[in-house]
Structure 1
């Protein structure tokens, strides 16, 4: 559904400057709120004056002035609420106060991974010299203690004021966890151990959310009582209730590679199934009769109760808002434009939390629905089937194609991969997902009945296992997914221009300039990709990674590479900090060798501690180095120092010294006092050098 005139979608038009204001606020969060507020008030006053003196000033001759003022007001409003939402702009933020202890309230459900419990908390008081002062700000806490597993939402905890800023990514391609937390308004974190914290009281959180989380835990326990397979229980908990704590990485990978990861995020499809079930059970029809209004209110309340149980994710909130508005429209027989409803729900959610705009789930959810509303009718009209069943299958295919096409640039940009057989996998899961939702809902709603509950649990478990087997089969089919896609922000935007222009041309082929825009943008996109490929093929460089107390050096020769590290490629640290860098540098063939290994390549030689890479010679100085001096005949240019190795510092004047994170702070301070070109990797970004040949 494409609007033929902007008057059909007024909320969408008004949302655009509001989104622009939020975007500017995210880029410039330190702007003065008072300045923005005064500017907005002046524009509002001007708008009122213009409306009062509309005829006297003959503004009808320049009708665009009113629209311009409204857009400017919405732009400033978006910027203002974003600046105010940023907790670092508060004068009583805990990081701006001197304190020995902090009093915090747990604001999320604690998650247990191994022996570490992790959760976020709101700071309410800073305590210094026995006196408390009001504070605010969020803090990410990680506690290594078995008893910490008993912590719960709403608990008040006293902790030492020993926190640090979240560290930025240090290596190429590494996930930006600092930005991820900043998008959630969290800028600091603390690590605690046994006896470093004390629970003072409970019940400090929102009682509704506390009750919902407790109820969800009880429902998850009910699933565990009626099912035996741990993987099936984890998928059921995630799919029905949005409880992801027990989901394994293998399962996530299988769903991601097959293009079905969306079903593991409780979203619009799940809410639509719940709505359909409730509408059928209550017999909801069109019309504003008294009984129908009561039914509509009941369904809306139950949908929001379900949204509450699933953790109020952006996708669920969007779906709950949209369906609530649709129910109201159907009940009172009003025409509803889907794009207006979508824009209205986005406006409400962003008013509550403008940082949702940066949430990947929020973006994927809204883009997917836009694809279904705008692109799906165009795709559906590509083919025509007289057979009813063939037409229904094509309808399902058009839905999948539209959603996948519009979300592909986001998936490629954030997750660096794209599924190939998404059409087949999405068709295969339609029936299983419906069975899982209905059987799971019935199991959780009905009281525990010995035979009936076990039967529903059996059906639920085996449906999930069957679906997992089918997706696992598709995952391992050759070319099941395209991986290692690394797009720049510009390329990401170019993809959207290509897609939107191409679909608009297919919608209205008389406007051929849209085809020209799509083709010319495609040319620019291909040129950008080709230029990156050309540069990657000719790149020859060495990157010294910051792996904390581990060693990591990447030697890049075009698309070939050698990695010297003490980590195995299956280690989490390697997957998190090394592998993304290899992928982003387009290194497709590489060897991983240890610190004591020997390797010979035409462009790379490692013999004991000496490394020769094209025209660069590096000496790895560690405890395995037998000498206290460096023979001049070795002709080295770089020294890689680790493990506080002892060395004669008088020989370092003409060399570049690189110290990794395994060295102590005292040792690094000593190196800093030596008159030598020294690069410290500890708590610093990785260091790269390029070959001159």
Structure 2
């Protein structure tokens, strides 16, 4: 099957191309609108069949217009193109914000967290979205969606990761349209008594009512968290241990309301509404009710990107069922993606969940028929097992490169968890919806809730058993962006060559494998020749890392405190061996001398020329006299020092025009050694 024969597939690919061009080149709205307008004019001339454009096909102009639409859609998301966005009124001082809670995020041990829409700033009508962090307090009232607050505060930029290869939360939020945060305590905001309701807020209230009702039933804590995730798309109540089990078992997709869940909901709707088809225009009524129910469930589940994608796609499926004509699954998939990116949010393209969802569904549509053609057993039990295994295998092949790129791990027993859980997921979801309906009607029998609790508990036990087979969990796999691209090219060429067994196709596979290996060897050679010193940022302790090729010396005071960030560096830098050593006071690396002052009270000796001084644990020294006697090239202060000392040292260095580097602001200090 030639995918590019389908017009929706072509248009979607070129829309994605336009979004990528607009995002990575930061093309302005004026330029993107001008280019698109020019393409549309040429399209109109071509449509009238003027001889001047006889050599420029109409289809190419359509695709160029689609690229332009992608660039425009990205430009429209930029704050500078939105005159009412709060950043256009933002001052480097405190301002008066009127905010409306849009989403309740999972809290941590110290803070409640929310996404809030800006209504007004200093009394001026505005828009935009902020991350709200509120310090936990016994008197604090947890906010709900649609609650409104007033606060006089300074919107601050979200911190970048302070250590190499840490999760870039600021970049993640930026792609969600969130650029700043407000940190508040109980005394820094006022709650508005009367609020305006939104559809999202109403559905959130219904969801909270359902969650409250379920919590009064005899469900276990872990089971209740899974029920909230399966039926309502709320994963805030799942424990870290349970979530890790599902992730390691390759079944974490079950916890996100996505295509699998929405497909089951569509089948339930078709089954329950089928009697209405006997009425005049019954099929039309069924279609309208089905789409309404699907989108109603999407709102109830919180309108996450995976839910929007799945409901959009299955709305097209419902329409295809209504037309009762063969429709390409690739057309349905492409139309849903085109619709979401162009009309909802083009930045969803950069969300990991969005990428994984479409990669999995595309791979199922593409590879499942080929796997069924490869083996079609006559035995009905073998046939069903092979179908389930084929779906799981196809999905995992599609998401494998993305999983390795973002998470650097792969669950080897994914097919077991899917074979054991997926066949019963329809029963689990159907029974769950029945329990919610009976609970809302206040007629839920305890026996039924007890059966459902045991069913969820059994599913958790199965997942836990699979996750405990640690030898089948392949983790800490280095994987960069070029390997990601080469992997998908290799998958496409390999499958194509297996279907079309020609010499040129086999040669293409061999060339892809060679290219992948050459890049792997090249990157290993480059990394094996690197030498650098890293002063990490860690509150309460100091650590100096020395990377020499594939070896890493970790000089630290507390190895347990730096294990997590060391692991990230090991994966990304392809470190083969780590040596832990006690942090000393002085080092010399190829002519670069470092003095480490990390004791509260130290006795200074007479040192020779020092290039870099590392300050840790706020050493008690006469800093000005020390600088005048040592005269180093640069001062580096890590995260173990008091803020008051940092400010004092910074001023002293500024007076002497001496470079001062604080890891708490600039991130880990990295010194490349030639």
User: What TM-score, normalized to structure 1?
Assistant: 0.89
Provide the secondary structure at the position in 1 that maps to 2:665.
coil
The match for 2:490 is: 498
The match for 1:477 is: 469
**Structure 2 residue corresponding to 1:155, chosen from 144, 147, 163:** 147
1:568 offset after TM fit, Å?
6.3
Deviation larger for 88-97 or 463-472: 88-97
**Structure 2 residue corresponding to 1:103, chosen from 98, 104, 120:** 98
| Alpha-carbon distance in structure 1 between the residues aligned to 2:355 and 2:276 | 32
Could you list the runs of 5+ residues in structure 1 that have no partner in the other structure? 594-598, 600-605
CA offsets per residue over residues 532-580 of structure 1, 9 Å max, x none? Answer: 33444555432111235643322334544343456663x6x863x4432
Q: Is the 8 A contact 1:630 1:651 kept in 2?
A: no
1:297 offset after TM fit, Å?
2.0
**Structure 2 residue corresponding to 1:632, chosen from 585, 589, 607:** 607
**Structure 2 residue corresponding to 1:335, chosen from 316, 326, 329:** 326
Q: Is the 8 A contact 1:416 1:485 kept in 2?
A: yes
1:298 offset after TM fit, Å?
1.8
Relative to structure 1, the CA distance from residue 278 to residue 391 in structure 2 (aligned partners, 3 Å threshold; closer, same or farther) is same
Q: Would you say 1:217 and 2:208 are equivalent positions?
A: yes
**Structure 2 residue corresponding to 1:674, chosen from 639, 642, 656:** 656
Q: Is the 8 A contact 1:639 1:658 kept in 2?
A: yes
Relative to structure 1, the CA distance from residue 46 to residue 636 in structure 2 (aligned partners, 3 Å threshold; closer, same or farther) is closer
| Alpha-carbon distance in structure 2 between the residues aligned to 1:102 and 1:76 | 36
CA offsets per residue over residues 409-438 of structure 1, 9 Å max, x none? Answer: 111111111111111121111234333212
CA offsets per residue over residues 209-236 of structure 1, 9 Å max, x none? Answer: 1111111111122222223321111111
| Alpha-carbon distance in structure 1 between the residues aligned to 2:153 and 2:444 | 53
Aligned ranges for residues 76-95 of structure 1 at < 5 Å?
76-95=68-87
The match for 2:177 is: 185
Relative to structure 1, the CA distance from residue 448 to residue 77 in structure 2 (aligned partners, 3 Å threshold; closer, same or farther) is closer
| Alpha-carbon distance in structure 1 between the residues aligned to 2:39 and 2:45 | 10
Q: Would you say 1:17 and 2:19 are equivalent positions?
A: no
| Alpha-carbon distance in structure 2 between the residues aligned to 1:556 and 1:144 | 39
Q: Would you say 1:689 and 2:668 are equivalent positions?
A: no
Relative to structure 1, the CA distance from residue 431 to residue 69 in structure 2 (aligned partners, 3 Å threshold; closer, same or farther) is closer
| Alpha-carbon distance in structure 1 between the residues aligned to 2:499 and 2:221 | 47
Q: Would you say 1:528 and 2:519 are equivalent positions?
A: yes
Aligned ranges for residues 636-647 of structure 1 at < 5 Å?
637-645=611-619, 646=621, 647=623
CA offsets per residue over residues 85-138 of structure 1, 9 Å max, x none? Answer: 1224334432332463122222213543334111111222221xxxx2232222
Relative to structure 1, the CA distance from residue 367 to residue 449 in structure 2 (aligned partners, 3 Å threshold; closer, same or farther) is same
The match for 2:572 is: 584
User: What TM-score, normalized to structure 2?
Assistant: 0.91
Provide the secondary structure at the position in 1 that maps to 2:104.
coil
The match for 2:39 is: 43
| Alpha-carbon distance in structure 2 between the residues aligned to 1:524 and 1:70 | 34
Could you list the runs of 5+ residues in structure 2 that have no partner in the other structure? none
| Alpha-carbon distance in structure 1 between the residues aligned to 2:475 and 2:606 | 46
The match for 2:596 is: 620
CA offsets per residue over residues 427-466 of structure 1, 9 Å max, x none? Answer: 1112343332122111011246888532232222222222
| Alpha-carbon distance in structure 2 between the residues aligned to 1:500 and 1:42 | 35
| Alpha-carbon distance in structure 2 between the residues aligned to 1:546 and 1:673 | 25
| Alpha-carbon distance in structure 2 between the residues aligned to 1:491 and 1:195 | 51
Relative to structure 1, the CA distance from residue 453 to residue 610 in structure 2 (aligned partners, 3 Å threshold; closer, same or farther) is farther
The match for 2:191 is: 199
Deviation larger for 84-93 or 448-457: 448-457
Q: Is the 8 A contact 2:411 2:474 kept in 1?
A: yes
| Alpha-carbon distance in structure 2 between the residues aligned to 1:14 and 1:677 | 53
1:382 offset after TM fit, Å?
2.1
| Alpha-carbon distance in structure 1 between the residues aligned to 2:96 and 2:440 | 47
* Number of residue pairs the alignment of both structures matches: 661
| Alpha-carbon distance in structure 2 between the residues aligned to 1:42 and 1:27 | 22
